[in-house]
Amino acid sequence: MTLSPSRCLKKGRSHFDRDVYCIIELLMNLPFFKKKAKKTPKFLTLEISSESVRCLAFYKEDGSLKIIGSGTSPLEAGAVRNGIIIDPGLVVQATQEAMNSATQNAEDAIKNVIIGVSSDLCLENVTTAKITRGSGTPITEKEVESFNEKIATSSEMQAQNYYSSLKGDEDTELQMITSSLVYIKLDNELVDNLEGKNGQVVEMALYTAFCPTYHVVAIQKLSKKLKLNVLAISPINFAVMKTLKQSDMESNDAILAQVGSDFTNIGVVFGGAVIKNKSLHIGFKHFVDEISRIMGLTHSEASKVVYSHSVGSLSASESVVIQNCLEEVLNIWLEGIKLLFGDFAGVKTFAPHMYLFGEGVQLPEIEDVLDKEPWPKSIPFKSPPTIKALIVGDLAKVADATGAVVSHEWVPAAALAYIYEEVI
């Protein structure tokens, strides 16, 4: 089932309101989201990666989003691959455990949830359309709907083509999960809405995020089994962009780099929206696997070693061993990153502000290698990139009342909380 975004682009709403309603309407029109969201200030955010399920419990208080509980539950290998739920049973079990842990101190059950979709699974795009009107009369509602229809159809076609070129698969059905107007121009002037205005040339830019329909169905089943009330499904990049926009950090032109458990996704941001994102299927898990392989440790043991390394509790010589283990895979990863940037056809120059987040960022070598190696030389950055690894503390509105949500890997789940303000 594919939804048209035209319904969400209604008259009389500001550009920012439309982001909100767009998400709500799209989601609420899905049959499994028909339940009315209870207006309680408590809600959950869920991030499902191939290594684990992370859950945060929030309490919205005045202007801040307070973390009141956190839970993480590891997933067995193969249960989730590149964000796709392969074994729903294991994912349901892990999600339940993560939720139990996150809500153990909550007085009542929290059922409202915002679920993140891995950047790797989302095809994000900004579609621009320029329409020259023949008439000199004010723009009508019907005309606006027609514009919306055209641009939505165009973005869907782009997404389908891109998916096909990426996966070699033309049959998988895609579903739009988020859309947001980036800007509307009438005769080259920015306007909030079109209806009732006079002008000849209409230019619209629409951000859309598509993901395979089977994944939406999988989330539907998951939420049904866990008796959850899904407030929104949001691309992780979209949520992170929301946090950047409400901070002092550069959010107009930037690069988002999510180093997930089994992928690295690069999102190119121009004009405050992700215009395109691409993934490399090398992530945190591969770094751990490499340590496991070379040091003869199990994956779980290697994960513990990596954790100790990331918090700096290993001796200098042990850290050297870890660094040696990672050297080769880091080189391959960096080659992949270069290829990834080279794959963004049409991007003439990349913005120099690069934000890192996700599980992989807990490895200090990731930031180091991006910061020190001469990899950007072959990529048309506007100026040498500045790398910033986001932490939960960077999310201005989020206040961690538990003291347990500090490391980089919690950023996606914490960023999803910003969507709550949009949907309630």
Interface ranges with other proteins (CB under 8 A): 78, 81-82, 164-169, 262, 278-282, 286, 289-290, 293-296, 315-318, 320-321, 324-325, 329, 332, 335-336, 339-340, 343
Query: Which CB atom, from 259 or from 325, has the smaller least distance to other proteins?
Result: 325
Q: At what angle do helices 88-103 and 213-225 cross, to 10 degrees?
A: 50
Q: At what angle do helices 316-342 and 284-295 cross, to 10 degrees?
A: 140
Minimum CB distance to other proteins, residue 54 (Å): 22
Token output for 130: 């320029």
List phi, psi (to 5°) of 227.
55, 50
Query: Which CB atom, from 157 or from 166, has the smaller least distance to other proteins?
Result: 166
Query: Which CB atom, from 283 or from 376, has the smaller least distance to other proteins?
Result: 283
Query: Which CB atom, from 50 or from 193, has the smaller least distance to other proteins?
Result: 50
List phi, psi (to 5°) of 319.
-65, -35
Minimum CB distance to other proteins, residue 165 (Å): 6
Query: Which CB atom, from 173 or from 343, has the smaller least distance to other proteins?
Result: 343
Query: Which CB atom, from 242 or from 286, has the smaller least distance to other proteins?
Result: 286
Minimum CB distance to other proteins, residue 118 (Å): 13
Of 199, 104, 204, the closest CA to residue 145 belongs to 204
Query: Which CB atom, from 105 or from 324, has the smaller least distance to other proteins?
Result: 324
Minimum CB distance to other proteins, residue 74 (Å): 18
Minimum CB distance to other proteins, residue 210 (Å): 16
| Calculated CA dihedral for residues 20, 25, 26, 32, nearest 10 degrees | 120
Neighbouring residues of 270: CB distance < 8 A, sequence distance ≥ 6: 126, 252, 253, 351
Do 381 and 350 contact (CB within 8 A), yes or no? yes
Q: How do strand 112-117 and strand 42-48 relate by DSSP bridges?
A: parallel
Q: How many beta carbons lie within 10 A of that of residue 378, not counting itself?
A: 9
Minimum CB distance to other proteins, residue 180 (Å): 26
Minimum CB distance to other proteins, residue 225 (Å): 26
Host H or E run for residue 190: strand 189-190
